Amino acid sequence: MRRSSIRTALAAACGLLAVTEVQAGAQGLVYVSNEKSDTISVLDPAQDHRLVATIEACGRPRDMEWDPTKRFIYVACADDSEIGIIDVEKGEQVDAIPYIEEPEAFEFDHAFKRLFVSNEEDAALSVVDLESREVIAWIETGEEPEGVLVTPDDKQIWVTSEASNLVHVIDGETYEVLADIPVGTRPRRFAMTPDGREIWVSAELAGKVDIIDARTFEVIDSISFLPQGFRPEQVTPVDVLITKDGKRAYVALGRANHVAVVDVEKREVIKYILAGNRVWGLTLTKDEKILYAANGLSDDVSIIDTETLTNVQSVPVGQIPYKVLVRE
Amino acid sequence: MRTLALVLALLLAVASGAAEAQRARAPRPTLVVGYLGLEDDPRWQRWETYANLELREAMDPVDGARVAMRDARIVGRVLKVKFVLEVRRAKDLDGLRAAFEELTEGGARFFLLDLPAETLSAFVAPYRDREVVFLNVSAMEDELRGEKCQANVLHVIPSFRMLADALSQYLAHKGWHRILLLQGPDPQDARIAEVFTISARRFGNEVVEVRRFLPTRDPRAREQNNVRLLTTGVEYDVVFVADHRGEFGRRVPYATVLPRPVVSLPDHGPTIGLVPSAWHWASERFGSPQLNQRFERQVEHRRRMRDADFAAWAAVRQLLEAMMKAKRTDFAAVREALLAPDARLDVYKGVPANFRPWDRQMRQPIVLGTHNAVITYAPLPQFLHQRNVLDTLGVDEPNTACRL
């Protein structure tokens, strides 16, 4: 733990004040991990997305996922080398899975028995048994593994290696490496089309998204981005989402400060929506009417109306917001 | 906590490694990357001054290459080869040649050269027509990319001129156009002063006066050893110190008559004020903390990553990337991929790097920083270029003296 006691006390005091107004764990609230503040900001959409609470988290919180009950948030804390477990109803971290070296992104299997986490330091993907909390497998990847995707049948785990420009496909049972697929420079995140045929992966320094055939493991196409007025090197895509009907994709373009809206079938950009500085983490609400976009260098979250495709509001949060979750 | 996790990870690695060994019983062919350097290279010794004050800790750029070699495990898995880094250090040119012949006989075609400029140019000259590629990771002298250039010598470390241009861009951008240049007695100080003066002119800055300093306390030479006297009687916006030893220069900031910033151009040595560099340990952007942490964890004594470490790391990364691109490891294919104009190596400085076709210099952003902070990255957005903004740093195609 690296926090100063003054900061902790201050934040705790603020947290307490806020919690008396709105339950930190009420339904419909929005949670944002702040990588540099070591906190999770809680926003209330019913109150114009006002900041209603700030939860103290472990050091350098980045990726977050819900447990199946949506009472607990699992959060990857790189500086403390643990996965923190936050009880949103109590508004505090109640537990942690320790000894996970510098976790960045992670996913659960669909039975909520295993956790797959990329370890930047070890250049590996760890498989953690959620009950015993032990690392049950450890698979060598390229340097700086990052985005993780578990196929809906849990049969494959896909992981990017940012520094090796590879996507690794790992067998979900034997943990054998099925393929190492060369992709564009600095691959970051995945999205799968709902029919399971295509895996999209963002290549941050290539300024594009590569589309991989999920059966042949070949890169079959790629989509480049360039909002007006930006230079190609400013286009640094990170997060990518595909809607449930498989028709539309959203790609956060990093330092190009826009979110690209893509027609999935035509593989064409429909629109660029202005967001904040270095937009990266994307989350849709369940009804897919609102898209939340975390802006890493302007310390705020953009709220995008997906019907009009406009940025309707920006809400300040903590420092270096990374990931957004919605409790619904 | 870390130790426990490491032990656990190692145990698991052994277990999963056994399974992997079974799967890949067939031995993979070995691909040797050579590393040639000098024994006790003075550039990497601990830099000490009077009373044992350490101005720079000892280093060895091979550490950077080793960090990149860890990545070679996975690239090797994809290409079904096993990468090996063979490090040879020799006392002199003859020793270097013997090591080179030994490694080429063993099949090595790619060599990192960690040599001072004069040794480097003497060493590579007879191998002009050999089917090898040399990657220069530590000599910054511009003539190696100019009149002494050679088609099979690639320069990963930036040239002095690239560093000087980065600094000049920053001074021009700030409106600090008038420069007082303080120059030391060493020939290397004169070289640094010259390259900076040419660069200043390119960006519309002006060296208003050159004053020579001497590292002495002799009162008869006070015009040349007293910073107050050296910086008075002339108008300037900034002071540039050409002092590759750094011993005199470290006392110039805050000692000038006018309250002006001090800048310099280090030659792997101590830094004075704001300096341009290939790499910075305190860079917080473009993923560089990850590389810095990886380096600090892997080297002994957790020392910080410096320019030559970075260049050695980038040289190995360039090779691996070229092999991945070519999807094979034979010399011609890798050489072509290495020199491809559309190659994009991520060097953790925001803009991808590749080699200039006219002088084989790796284009790359330059970091402008102080002893503990990055101030900005060059090229600055205000400086544009008709083809590639990175070519605002260093000798551009129309001006090159290189004939390949």
A18: pLDDT strictly greater than 50: no
B389 chain-A contacts, CB cut-off 8 A: 231, 233
Among chain B residues, the shortest Cα distance to A254 is held by B286
**Chain A residue with minimal CA distance to B3?**
A99
Q: Which residue of B has its CA nearest to A206?
A: B344
Q: Residue A190: pLDDT above 80?
A: yes
pLDDT at position B71, please?
81
Query: From the list A138, A142, A233, which residue is nearest B9 (CB)?
Result: A138
**Stretch A185-203: mean pLDDT, rounded?**
97
Query: Nearest residue on chain B to A188, judged by CA atoms?
Result: B287
Predicted pLDDT at A21: 54
Paired strand residues for B264: B241
Q: How confident is the model at residue B325 (pLDDT cuts 50, 70, 90)?
A: confident
The whole-angstrom distance between residue A249's C-alpha and the CA centroid of its chain comes to 15
User: What are the chain A neighbours of B351 within 8 Å (beta carbons)?
Assistant: 233
- What residues 97-126 of chain A have any CB closer than 8 A to a CB of chain B? 98-101, 120-124
* Contacts for B130-136: CB closer than 8 Å, 24+ residues apart: B130/B104, B131/B331, B132/B104, B132/B108, B133/B109, B133/B334, B133/B335, B133/B338, B135/B110, B135/B111, B135/B315, B135/B318, B135/B319, B136/B311
Q: Which has more confidence, B73 or B183?
A: B183
Question: Is the pLDDT assigned to residue A302 strictly greater than 90?
Answer: yes
CB contact, 8 Å: B2 with chain A? yes
3-state secondary structure B8-20: HHHHHHHHHHHHH
Within 8 A of A81 by CB-CB distance, chain B residues are 1-2, 5
Phi-psi sector, B99: left (phi>0), alpha (psi -120 to 50), beta? alpha
**For the domain bounded by B161-276, which CATH number is listed?**
3.40.50.2300
Q: How far is A206 from chain B (nearest CA, A)?
A: 8
Of B5, B77, B346, the CB nearest to A101: B5
Encoding tokens for residue A272? 């660029």
Tokens of B8: 């656990």
Helix axes B93-105, B117-124, angle to 10 degrees: 50
Rounded CA separation A123/A139 (Å): 9
Q: Please calculate the CA angle A220-A226-A232 and round it to the nearest 5 degrees.
A: 95
Q: Domain coordinates of chain B in residue numbers?
A: 29-158+280-364, 161-276
**pLDDT score of A118:** 93
Residue B112: band (very low, low, confident or very high) from pLDDT cuts 50, 70, 90: very high
Tokens of B241: 């110190």
Q: Which homologous superfamily does the CATH classification assign to the domain defined by B29-158+280-364?
A: Response regulator (3.40.50.2300)
Determine the pLDDT at residue A218: 96
Q: Look at residues A319, A325, A207, A322 and name the one whose alpha carbon lies nearest to residue A272.
A: A207
Judged by CB atoms closer than 8 Å, whether chains meet at A176 and B23 is answered as: yes
Q: What pLDDT score does B215 carry?
A: 87
Task: Give the per-residue pLDDT at B10.
Answer: 47
Give backbone dihedrals phi and psi of A191, rounded to 5 degrees, phi first: -145, 145
Stretch A102-126: mean pLDDT: 92
Could you tell me whether strands A124-129 and A135-140 are parallel, antiparallel, or unpaired per DSSP bridges? antiparallel
Q: What is the ipTM of this complex?
A: 0.72
Q: Is A185 in contact with B344 (Cβ distance < 8 A)? A: yes
pLDDT for residue A56 is more than 90? yes
Min distance A275 CA to chain B CA atoms (Å): 20
A6-16 tens-digit pLDDT: 444 444 444 44
**pLDDT interval class at B300 (50, 70, 90):** confident
Of A292 and A185, the one with more pLDDT = A292
Is residue B156 predicted with pLDDT exceeding 60? Answer: yes
Q: Which residue has the higher pLDDT, B46 or A233?
A: B46
Question: Does residue A158 carry a pLDDT above 80?
Answer: yes
The average pLDDT across A16-25 equals: 56
Q: What is the pLDDT of residues A57-112, one digit of tens each?
A: 999 999 999 999 999 999 999 999 999 999 999 999 999 999 898 898 999 999 99
Beta strands B262-264 and B206-212 are unpaired
Cβ distance of B344 and A205 shorter than 8 Å: yes
Mean pLDDT of the region B308-313: 98
Contacts of B385 (CB under 8 A, 6+ apart): B379, B391, B392
Q: So what's the pLDDT on residue A288?
A: 97
Least confident of A8-17, A293-302, B67-76, B238-247: A8-17
Q: Would you call A206 an interface residue with chain B, using a CB distance cutoff of 8 Å? A: yes
Sheet holding A92-97, edge to edge: A61-66, A72-77, A82-87, A92-97
CA-based radius of gyration for chain A: 19
CA max distance for chain B: 78
pLDDT at A214: 97
Please check whether residue A170 is in contact with residue A181, taking contact to mean a CB–CB distance below 8 angstroms: no
Bridge partners, B354 (sequence order): B363
The answer on pLDDT for A245 being more than 70 is yes
Confidence of residue B25 (pLDDT cuts 50, 70, 90): low
Residue A233's pLDDT band (boundaries 50, 70, 90)? Answer: confident
In 10 A of CB B339, how many CB atoms? 17
Alpha-carbon span A232 to B169, nearest angstrom: 22
What is the C-alpha separation between B72 and B17, in angstroms, rounded?
16
Residue type, B11: L
**A138 neighbourhood in chain B, CB within 8 Å:** 9, 12-13, 16
Chain pair A-B, CB pairs under 8 angstroms: 90
CB A219, CB A225: distance < 8 Å: no
Burial class (CB in 10 A: 0-12, 13-18, 19+), A263: middle
Listed residue (A235, A237, A225) closest to A162, CA to CA: A237
DSSP assignment string, B1-67: -HHHHHHHHHHHHHHHHHHHHHHT-SPPPEEEEEEEEETT-GGGS-EEEGGGEEEE----THHHHHH
For the segment A218-223, the average pLDDT, to the nearest whole number, is: 97
State how far the alpha carbon of A222 is from the alpha carbons of A81, A192, A264, A267, in Å.
35, 14, 11, 8
**For a pLDDT cut of 70, what percent of chain B falls above it?**
94
How much is the average pLDDT of B244-271? 93
pLDDT-derived band at B53 (thresholds 50, 70, 90) equals confident
Closest CA to B44 of B139, B136, B186: B139
**pLDDT value at residue A228:** 94
- Per-residue pLDDT tens for B210-221? 999 998 888 888
Q: Are B71 and A122 an interchain contact pair (Cβ–Cβ within 8 Å)?
A: no
Please indicate whether residue A23 or residue B368 has the higher confidence score (pLDDT): B368
- Give the separation between CA B39 and CA B99, rounded to whole angstroms: 13
User: If you ran DSSP here, which 8-state letter would residue B361 be given?
Assistant: B
Is the distance from CB of A77 to CB of A83 less than 8 angstroms? yes
Q: What is the pLDDT of residue A12?
A: 47
Tens of pLDDT, residues B370-393: 999 999 999 998 898 888 889 999
Strand pairing of B110-114 and B30-38?
parallel
Find where tokens 């019907």 sit. A307
Tell me which chain A residue has its CA closest to the CA of residue B327: A182
**Contact criterion met (CB < 8 Å) for B294 and A143:** yes
Q: How many CB atoms lie within 10 A of CB B4?
A: 10
Task: Give yes or no for residue B49 having a pLDDT over 50.
Answer: yes
pLDDT at A16: 47
| pLDDT the model gives residue A22 | 61
Q: Is the pLDDT of residue B180 over 70?
A: yes
Query: Would you say residue B117 has pLDDT above 80?
Result: yes
CA distance A93 to A100: 17
pLDDT at A4: 42
pLDDT of the residue at B350: 86
Q: What's the mean pLDDT when you consider all of chain A?
A: 92
- Give me B269's structure tokens: 């040595």
For residue B201, pLDDT beyond 70: yes
Name the nearest CA neighbour of B197 among B231, B218, B168: B168
Q: What is the mean predicted confidence (pLDDT) over A196-225?
A: 97
CA angle, residues A40, A251, A265, in degrees to nearest 5 = 140
- Chain B residues with beta carbon closer than 8 angstroms to that of A142: 71, 74-75
CA distances from B238 to A169, A225, B104, B167, B172 (A): 55, 42, 50, 12, 11
B384 touches chain A (CB under 8 A): no
